[in-house]
Amino acid sequence: MNDVAARPAQSWKVTLPCTRAEAEALDGDIALFVAMDQPPVLMTSEAGADDDAWRLDAYFEGEPDPAAVQLLRDLIPSAAATEPQIEKLPDEDWVTLSQQGLEPVTAGRFHVRNRAADPEEAGHVNFLIEAGRAFGTGQHETTAGCLIMLDRMRRIGMRFGNVADIGTGTGLLAFAALHLWPRAYATASDIDPVAVAISRENAMTNGMPVGHGIGQVALYTAAGVDHPAIEQRAPYDLLIANILAGPLIELAPSLCALIEDGGTLLLAGLLREQADEVLAAYRAQGMRLAERADRGDWPTLRLRKRPRIGWKRPQRIDRSARGEAPGFGTL
C-alpha cells in the first residue's frame, strides 16, 4: 500500500503567499525540516495572473506547532508581515487534493503523468510519477530540461553503457536514461531514504527492472557518492546530477573522479546566475562545457571530461567521438 496515502486523515495545511523565486528555491530537501520526525510536504503553485504571485501550501500530519509555522515563515521573507492561513483538512486524501491541477509534462520523447487518471500520450515514452512525495516529477524546469537534453543526446547518436543519477529524487531521470540506452548499467542514489523507497515504487509502476545487471537500475541511499557500491560501479560514462548549485560545487571533485575519461556529465538544479561559478568548479576538475540549454532561469549543462595522459595532463577531445567511454557495451 502507498504509505503516504495511508497517513492519518487528520492533516493540516498552512498557506502563505510567496514570490516565484521563493517558490523555485523550495524544490528539493529543506534543511530546516530535517530534524522533524514527520516533515511537511511543500507544494507551490501560481496564485494569479501576476507571474510573480505564487503560493506555498505546507501539508502536516497533525496540527503544526508555532515553531513549525515559524520555520515556514522563515522560508518566505516576502510574507514576513502576512499571517499564515492554517486549516484542518477534512477526512480526504490530502495528497491527491494537493496534486489537483498538475498537468502532464512532455519533454522531448518523454511524457510524464503525475496522476494515474491522466491518459498516456501516443507516440511518446510514458512515465507515471506521482507528485508530492519527492522532487523530480517532471514539473520543474530542471527535470524537464534534463529529459530534453537526454533525448537530444540519444538523437545525435551518443551511446552510454554505465549511467549514474546522483540525487535521483523520484528515479525519473535514471528511468529515462535506461530507456534510451537499455543495454546500460544504471545506478541511482539519493541522500533521502524515503526518496530511494519512492524510486523503487516508481520503478515497479513503470516496469523498470531493479537490480545490478545490464538493463536494471540499482538504488542506493547515499550522501553524494559516499557509498561503496557507487564507487565500485564506476567509472561512469554518463553521470547526471540534478541538485542545487551549492552541493554541485561541493561535490565537483568526487563526481568528476567517478567519470570515465571522455565521459559525459549532465548538471541541473542551478540558476542562470549561478552557472559561471558551477562551471568554474568543474573546469578545475578537467571538464569542458559541450552544450548548454536554458529553460527560463534554469540552465542544463552538458560537460565532457578531458582525457588525460600522466598526472593531470589534459588532452584535446576528439570532436567526432559519439560520447561513449571505452570498456562498456553500446547499443
Annotated binding site for S-adenosyl-L-methionine: 143, 167, 190, 242
C-beta separation of 299 from 275 below 8 A: yes
With 0-12 CB in 10 A as exposed, 13-18 as middle and 19+ as buried, what is 96? middle
Strand pairing class (236-242; 259-268): parallel
Residues annotated within a binding site? 143, 167, 190, 242
